[in-house]
């Protein structure tokens, strides 16, 4: 892969608005990257909308040349995860099981909002089958390799695997993903970009293939916090083009922040690279004047028992898939189907009890962290492992998947919001620093994230 500077949506919008670059240029460049990054384009994208994207780009270029007033972001290519409906296509959700199903008659709400803002959907990205793994491995369509250390061949993280790789390899400038237990933040952390999981109710799930109705969230992956702010505003149905009381603050610095540093559970079993990068981030923030308070959440030790039979995700996935599993189970990735089938061990009483436990858990955690602007933790305890260590070894796959999901899934369980920001030393393996907060504190969290991103950019 030939590296190139990662351009933000703001930079691209300025260039388009000043006619320094055309939308056709951007789309052509992305299509060339899809074709030229050896083997990765075909593993990253399950479908490419090349002709449609070029035609749309030409339309926006003509309109700009004629002085038409367009959306600031009109003409910028983005990717969408394969579980979003796109009118005229069958939504496969990274599986072969759904081949032959009826095509969608309209775009998913989130996709429609991207198009309405002028963004150009360049293709559908690969993912873990039915979004049920944090590793990003797909035996049906291949696994897009992490751009970090492609010689070794490392996992991208999942389930929004192709979404992350489409950004890191400049095949798109924003990506639409989903996050049920970390599926935006894990691949963002492992690939060295930014991934945001909003409060679940913030973005409508209409037209999105479900994993777990209680936990599913729709969020962006991109090259900066501000890029994620823009995309989140669009898919949430807000205007990103005007100042608003709902817009994140841009005047904050690290010295304005009260941050909790979570010191139990999420810091167990950190590999050396993650531990070093996390400490580097904390030093940088402390040096910049942030007020850091170490915090323990004893409730987190309850999670293994709460989820002993697969938790909400397995119960709700099983309810959705059980009829198809009974007739077509052999067509599923067995590592996905076995996780779904854990839901069969739960009855209605178990499910109701689990929902009640979640409410209590969320309230107890809220009491401990509500006074902070954000809580800090490593996004994942490990950097991206080699694909060859996981594909042939079921035990390693299960163990690593559970470890990778451990930290980010906390936020989904408390119905919070979270963002992962790169925090590694330049030139080393990507590591994500997570900030999380309670539900409906998205604006506050994104404001803090922008300040922390700026601090990390200056170095520790």
Please identify every residue annotated as catalytic.
81, 159, 183
Question: 64: Cβ–Cβ under 8 A, 6 or more apart, which residues?
Answer: 16, 17, 19, 23, 70, 75
Look at strands 374-378 and 432-437 and give their pairing.
Answer: antiparallel
Task: Tell me the C-alpha to C-alpha distance, in Å, between residue 102 and each of 36, 49, 82, 90, 261.
Answer: 33, 19, 15, 6, 48
In which residue are the tokens 């107890």 written? 364
Task: Write phi, then psi, for 321 (nearest 5 degrees).
Answer: -100, -10
What is d(CA 190, CA 277) in angstroms, rounded to the nearest whole number? 13
Q: Among residues 218, 165, 63, 197, which one has the least CA distance to residue 387?
A: 165
What is d(CA 422, CA 188) in angstroms, rounded to the nearest whole number? 8
What is d(CA 58, CA 53) in angstroms, rounded to the nearest whole number? 9
Question: 7: Cβ–Cβ under 8 A, 6 or more apart, which residues?
Answer: 170, 173, 223
Q: Is 415 left (phi over 0), alpha (psi -120 to 50) or beta?
A: left
Length of the chain: 460
What is d(CA 339, CA 305) in angstroms, rounded to the nearest whole number? 16
Nearest-10 crossing angle of helices 9-17, 23-36: 140
Look up residue 451 and give its two tokens.
């300040």
Residue 322: exposure state from Cβ atoms within 10 A (0-12, 13-18, ≥19):
middle
Task: Write phi, then psi, for 101 (nearest 5 degrees).
Answer: -70, 165
Look up residue 146 and give its two tokens.
């992490």
């Amino acid at each position: 892969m030939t590296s190139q500077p990662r351009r933000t949506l703001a930079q691209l919008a300025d260039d388009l608005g000043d006619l320094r670059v055309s939308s056709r240029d951007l789309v052509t460049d992305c299509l060339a990257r899809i074709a030229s990054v050896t083997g990765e384009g075909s593993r990253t994208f399950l479908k490419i909308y090349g002709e449609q994207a070029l035609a749309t780009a030409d339309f926006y270029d003509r309109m700009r040349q004629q002085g038409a007033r367009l959306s600031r972001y009109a003409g910028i290519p983005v990717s969408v995860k394969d579980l979003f409906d796109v009118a005229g296509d069958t939504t496969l959700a990274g599986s072969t099981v759904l081949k032959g199903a009826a095509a969608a008659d309209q775009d998913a709400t989130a996709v429609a909002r991207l198009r309405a803002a002028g963004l150009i959907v360049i293709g559908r990205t690969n993912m873990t089958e039915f979004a049920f793994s944090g590793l990003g491995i797909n035996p049906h369509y291949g696994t897009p390799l992490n751009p970090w250390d492609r010689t070794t061949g490392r996992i991208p993280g999942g389930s929004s695997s192709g979404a992350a790789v489409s950004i890191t390899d400049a095949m798109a400038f924003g990506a639409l993903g989903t996050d049920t237990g970390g599926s935006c933040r894990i691949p963002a952390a492992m690939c060295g970009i930014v991934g945001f999981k909003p409060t679940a109710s913030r973005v409508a799930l209409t037209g999105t293939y479900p994993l777990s109705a209680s936990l599913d969230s729709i969020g962006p992956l991109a090259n900066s916090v501000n890029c994620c702010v823009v995309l989140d505003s669009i898919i949430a149905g807000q205007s990103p083009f005007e100042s608003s009381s709902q817009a994140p603050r841009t005047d904050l610095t690290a010295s304005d922040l009260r941050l909790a540093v979570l010191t139990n559970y999420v810091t167990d079993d950190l590999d050396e690279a993650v531990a070093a990068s996390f400490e580097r981030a904390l030093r940088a923030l402390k040096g910049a004047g942030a007020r850091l308070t170490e915090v323990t959440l004893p409730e987190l030790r309850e999670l293994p028992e709460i989820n002993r039979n697969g938790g909400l995700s397995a119960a709700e996935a099983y309810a959705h898939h059980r009829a198809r599993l009974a007739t077509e189970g052999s067509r599923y990735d067995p590592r996905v189907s076995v996780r779904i089938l854990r839901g069969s061990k739960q009855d209605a009483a178990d499910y109701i009890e689990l929902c009640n436990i979640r409410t209590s858990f969320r309230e107890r955690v809220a009491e401990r962290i509500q006074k902070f602007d954000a809580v800090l933790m490593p996004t994942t305890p490990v950097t991206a492992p080699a694909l060859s260590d996981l594909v042939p070894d079921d035990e390693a796959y299960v163990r690593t998947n559970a470890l990778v999901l451990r930290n980010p899934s906390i936020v989904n369980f408390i119905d919070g919001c979270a963002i992962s920001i790169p925090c590694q030393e330049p030139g080393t393996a990507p590591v994500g620093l997570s900030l999380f907060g309670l539900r409906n504190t998205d604006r506050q969290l994104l404001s803090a994230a922008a300040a922390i991103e700026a601090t990390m950019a200056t170095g520790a």
